[in-house]
Amino acid sequence: MLLRIFFGEDEKFGRLPLYEAIVLKAREMHLAGATVLRGPMGFGHSSRIHTSKILRLSEDLPIVIEIVDAEDKIKSFVDVLDGMIGSGLVTLEKVQVLRYGNAARHP
């Protein structure tokens, strides 16, 4: 399963940026991995544009976290996310994993 979490860069969980808290929790729960993506532009449910254009230093840029793991582990993690995320979008989709880990490459 692929879990995607969308929210603004300014979101916090306690003293930590929300993206950092989510990744640390995913690691603590032994999920396969997590990637944080920072977007240069986007909008969400408020329809307010968030952008990194020049002369705008702090624009609450879009953040997307992607986590892939087995369905049961992802669903357990979603239960934990409920207590961490105020507003944002969380999506799930089935994916096919073609490769994972340090398998030797064949020429």
Domain residue limits at 32: 2-89
CA distance 13 to 22: 9
Choose between 58 and 38: higher pLDDT.
38
Residue 104 is assigned to a structural domain of this protein: no
For residue 41, being part of any structural domain is answered with: yes
Residue 49 lies in a domain: yes
In the chain, the amino acid numbered 64 is: V
Residue 27: pLDDT band with limits 50, 70, 90: very high
What global pTM score does this model have?
0.83
Highest mean pLDDT, choosing among 26-30, 52-56, 85-89, 100-104: 26-30
For residues 3 and 19, give the distance between their C-alpha atoms in angstroms, rounded to a whole number: 14
Answer whether residue 15 is part of any domain. yes
| More confident position, 85 or 100 | 85
Residue 77 structure tokens: 């993690």
Domains contained in the chain, number: 1
For residue 28, the domain's CATH number is 3.30.70.120
